[in-house]
């Protein structure tokens, strides 16, 4: 999967925004909160549930995301990403982060 394909997937989600930060990483946010990061080193980091974290890091294609694993973030190399899997993971990450927004912010964003 390419960075462009990741961007197309992430930006298709409701109220998603994109910024470049942290040394050139593509950072995807909803309501100002990060749900996925596509780094320069060819990896996609994203938020997962506690169960998703276990499944993806124990025998799955992911490993714990540096500095973010405590918050249940994983990273998968872009070359190992199947587009069908990535779409689902990015959508889930978006949903997990959107659910943490205040009720007022979700209403303002149409979520």
Q: What confidence score (pLDDT) does residue 88 get? A: 94
Q: How confident is the model at residue 66 (pLDDT cuts 50, 70, 90)?
A: confident
> Looking at the whole model, is its pTM more than 0.75?
yes
Q: Can you read off the two tokens belonging to residue 26? A: 């593509």
Q: How confident is the model at residue 87 (pLDDT cuts 50, 70, 90)?
A: very high
Per residue in 17-28, pLDDT tens? 999 998 899 999
């Amino acid at each position: 999967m390419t960075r462009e394909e990741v961007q197309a997937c992430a930006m298709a989600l409701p109220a998603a925004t994109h910024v470049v930060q942290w040394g050139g990483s593509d950072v995807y946010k909803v309501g100002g909160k990060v749900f996925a990061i596509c780094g320069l080193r060819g990896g996609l980091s994203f938020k997962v549930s506690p169960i998703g974290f276990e499944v993806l890091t124990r025998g799955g294609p992911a490993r714990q995301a540096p500095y973010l694993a405590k918050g249940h973030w994983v990273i998968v190399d872009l070359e190992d990403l199947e587009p069908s899997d990535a779409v689902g993971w990015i959508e889930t990450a978006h949903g997990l982060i959107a659910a943490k927004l205040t009720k007022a912010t979700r209403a303002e964003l149409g979520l």
